A and B are shown apart, each in its own frame.
Chain A
Amino acid sequence: MNIPPRRVAITGIGMVTPLGNEAGSTWTSLIQGRSGIDTIRSFDASGFATSIGAEVKDFDAEQRIGDRKLLKLTTRSHRFALAAAAEALADAAVAPTPATSSRWGCISGSGMMGVAYSELLRTQRRFAPAGEFDVRAMFEAGSPAADPMEFCRSQANAGVALLSHRFNITGFCNSVNTACASGGQAVGAALKMIRRGRADYALAGGFDSMLNPLGLGSFCLLGALSTDNETPARASRPFDRTRNGFVLGEGAAFLVLEEMSLALRRGARIYAELAGDGNSLSSYRITDSHPSGDGPIQAMRAAMRDAGIEPGQVDYINAHGTSTQMNDRSECAAIRAVFGPDADRVNVSSTKSMMGHLIAAAGAVEAAVSALVIRHGAMPINANLEQDDPDCDLRFVRDRTLSEPVRAVLSNSFGFGGSNSCLALRKSE
């Protein structure tokens, strides 16, 4: 007997992004073609080669999360995660109950662990005043920090632990760390988890904030960021011939995923079906993907095969499109290789042109945007694309939002280290 495979619906969306502190305001900004990129205000970045970023603005954690005791255990990015997750659950109008909690899972793309700069500075002043770390001094003091909560906040799986605790999710919980592919891979893993029957519901997404002196500094050292400090809104220009690096952003997005028959039975609003996950390794270089698109090609093909869709059915690709020379060229080559003649028909844009690169959260935010694209039949622009690059000759959404029914979407995320994620979403019948 053939049992039809379990399918997965997206029934809730929550976002905290540089374009808005909720899903609704983020979407409105995208549709209006606004930029969330500006001079960095949360710390003095004026000495850094790059002093612009895509910051979350006026985010009131206490108002969004409420629990002040809980907030002591959180970093800035954990707060984004808790707010976006709460929004997604409220939006879906379903949440774990004592009867269902073990059938809920939580998979999150998470940023790199680290203590906040102010905490690191305290450690440096106490144990390395002249720059050299004095191990003896630390052991004589007997405690590395005045605030033991620093340890909790800096644990690499603290975010998913907070989410599980806060929302009483007692099934499979996991934290994905494949750099810029994290959010996409987390959502893909959650799809598989539900299909496989390990869970019926999932809170899936990602969160990150590297907009701090160490995060910004380490990307500056790699020369990966745009240095167009005088023209922040124009700095992120994926696929433009003059692109010169990405713009670092921060934020979070979470989706509520639900086994399709359960969603249908309760009459849930379904944004889209999460239909396929493709996941591959480039195995080329740490920071670059192969100019031929090798790696991303396998991910896109796998996602479509997994979803049972053909290139001719895909109407929009939310590109990884970071605005670096290498990524954008390689991604275009991959789309050409996978789509063949359909590459001239499928609409493409990178929403990083407006909200910057949210690193471990990027894939999750873009999966949420992709679901909204299907829901609203509207494709956001690829902002700042003015000078064509012959190596990037796709049908980009330019100038204004494109309003057309969208049958299926691919959302690409490719990470440092060579992990590639492609998610396939389709209009739910």
Chain B
Amino acid sequence: MSEQVVITGIGAICALGMSPAEILSAISAGHSALARVAGWSGAAAEALRAAPLDQLDPRRLVEDRKLHKRVRRTDLLGLYAAERAMAEARILESRAALDARLVEDFNDRTAVYSASGGSNYQTQYDFFSLMSEARGELKHFGQELSQVDPIWLLRELPNNVVCHVGIRHGFKGPNCCLVNHTSGGGCAISQALDALSDGEADRAVVVAHDTPVEPQTLLYFDALGLLTKSQPRPFDSRHDGIALGDGAAAMVLETRSSAERRGAQILGTILSVGFASEAAGLLAIRADGEGPARASEQALAAAGLDADDIGTVIAHGNGGPNSDDSEAAALVRIFGSRQPPTTSFKWACGHLLAAAGMIDTVLAVECLRHSELPGIATFEKPSDASATLRLSPAAQSLGNSTALILSRGFGSFNAAVIVNAPHARNC
């Protein structure tokens, strides 16, 4: 029998706050972090709404100032979330209490997984000055390269969070950095779940991070007609697009026996992860929601659950009409007329892309532990496809302590995570 995988720490950061509790209370209060971006001007900038974290002092994220120049902001966000999750899980304290000869084994059996957003466009702008000077002459470009930061490539590495969590703490177990757009969070949880339940490691730090709020990315999204002209209204009849946000989230996952052995606080359990591609290409998705439906069915089967066992759905709900309506079709296929209370957070945090699936999972745990399901404040009247979903602009009560979290990313890739987290009475 494979081992149960429990959650012993969570961390999150986005423009709404620097902890899962802070973010959830902002959402519950109906706050949105989406606004015009300070410092951006020009016609197209007027209409754009986003939730960046570019003004945050990096020292609030990571104390080590040397690191500020060696990695990108997205990595600092990931490292921050990872440290917060580790602090809550108290794994370093547990290691410090070990007999010296057991420390090596502890490190070898600690895994690190990250879902990264990949590169940013603007880091490539570091070459602009040289390119301008070279006037298209590659020979000159090559000769004068030393104007550019010699460690440019290392700052750019998508796997910097895995690397620096490892270097800072000496973890040497299984690891992976994956870049799979919004389905990345689910993929990272899935890899960690399999590694832990198969006994390859005892615990895993699992992180997702992304900083999509930069001019070139926003303008591309806008050119493709993906951005909202007002605010994201998931599943609402007036939904007209998404808004982007920066952020990161992390969890410490652990085998139940490892957590119990060290007397760790158990916040919840990862029951399963399902994944389905619609094979529709990079941007297209199917209208019938086949992908999210199949991913969910797979997750239910893997967890040995029926649809009726799901008490809450944290939908992908990004506010894009095609995405929302096909997701609603998937929820109808899974739950029929017995829809569980459903919500989405992207109207408030923005869409964190590679970090979205992880922050939704972390916030789901927070919701379940506090028996609190915030509504979608921008929601008024459901779109036709969403008519049977249980959505509300106000808070709803939770069905039970099990939640299904859906994420959908470029590539027509869909991930479905099922978590269980009992109510925390003492909080």
Contacts and interface: CB of A to CB of B under 8 A. Distances in A.
A285 B195 CA distance: 25
Given A170-B278, A178-B177, A213-B141, A140 B44 contact: yes
Given A136-B41, A221-B146, A155 B410 contact: yes
Contact of A138 (B160, B162, B198, B215): B215
Contacts of A185: 176
Interface string A146-168: 00101110111110111011011
Interface string A66-89: 000000010000000000000000
A302 B175 CA distance: 13
Of listed B107, B130, B178, residue having the most chain A CB within 10 A: B178
B40 A139 contact: yes
Contacts of B145: 48-49, 217, 220-221
B118 A177 contact: yes
Interface in A261-299: 279-287, 294-295, 298
Contacts of B178: 174-177
Contacts of B153: 218-219, 221-222
Contact of B118 (A102, A112, A123): A112
Given A47-B141, A418-B166, A161 B42 contact: no
A417 B152 contact: no
Contacts of B150: 221-223
A337 interface: no
A158 B278 CA distance: 14
Contacts, number: 306
Contacts of A160: 180, 411
A359 B43 CA distance: 41
A227 B146 CA distance: 16
Contacts of B139: 44, 46-47
Contact of B187 (A44, A170, A174): A174
Contacts of B200: 302
A120 B131 contact: yes
B279 A170 contact: yes
A137 interface: yes
A47 B143 contact: yes
B62 interface: no
A132 B44 CA distance: 20
A363 interface: no
A220 B127 CA distance: 14
A419 B173 CA distance: 10
Interface in B372-427: 409-413
Nearest to A185: B176
Interface in A368-404: none
B4 interface: no
A168 B279 CA distance: 5
Contacts of B35: none
A223 B108 CA distance: 31
Contacts of A142: 43-44, 219, 222
Contacts of A298: 108, 172
A102 B293 CA distance: 13
Interface residues of B, number: 94
Interface residues of A, number: 97
B118 A130 contact: no
A272 to B, nearest CB: 23
Interface in A64-120: 73, 101-102, 106, 110, 112-115, 120
A136 B42 CA distance: 5
Interface string B352-379: 0000000000000000000000000000
Interface in B128-155: 128-133, 136, 138-143, 145-146, 148-154
A14 interface: no
A217 B148 contact: yes
A174 B138 CA distance: 35
Contacts of B143: 47-48
Given A138-B219, A173-B411, A162 B282 contact: yes
A132 B154 CA distance: 23
A270 to B, nearest CB: 24
B277 A138 contact: no
B92 interface: no
A144 B131 CA distance: 18
Contacts of B187: 172, 174
Nearest to A172: B275
A216 B236 CA distance: 49
Contact of A115 (B39, B124, B156, B159): B124
A178 B176 contact: yes
B178 to A, nearest CB: 5
B177 A176 contact: yes
Contacts of A178: 159, 162, 175-177
Interface in B48-79: none
B191 interface: yes
B174 to A, nearest CB: 5
Interface string A393-429: 0000000000000000000000111110000000000
B142 A46 contact: yes
B105 to A, nearest CB: 11
A150 B150 CA distance: 27
A282 B162 CA distance: 11
A114 B119 contact: yes
Contact of A128 (B117, B128, B198): B128
B171 A171 contact: no
B336 interface: no
Given A178-B162, A213-B142, A280-B108, A139 B276 contact: no
B138 to A, nearest CB: 4
Contacts of B43: 139-140, 142
A-B residue pairs, 9 tightest by C-beta: A139-B42, A156-B118, A47-B142, A161-B411, A48-B142, A131-B129, A283-B166, A417-B163, A47-B139
9 contacts: A47-B140, A124-B131, A157-B179, A161-B412, A170-B279, A171-B276, A172-B275, A198-B275, A419-B176
Interface of A: 43-49, 51, 73, 101-102, 106, 110, 112-115, 120-121, 123-124, 128-133, 135-145, 148, 150-152, 154-158, 160-162, 164-165, 167-179, 185, 189, 192, 196, 198, 213-214, 217-223, 279-287, 294-295, 298, 302, 415-419
Interface of B: 39-45, 107-108, 112, 116-119, 121-122, 124-125, 127-133, 136, 138-143, 145-146, 148-154, 156-160, 162-163, 166-167, 169-181, 184, 187, 190-191, 194-195, 198, 200, 215-216, 219-220, 222-224, 275-283, 291, 294, 409-413
Given A170-B291, A218-B156, 11 more contacts: A47-B140, A49-B142, A112-B156, A115-B121, A131-B133, A144-B223, A154-B121, A161-B412, A178-B177, A220-B142, A417-B163
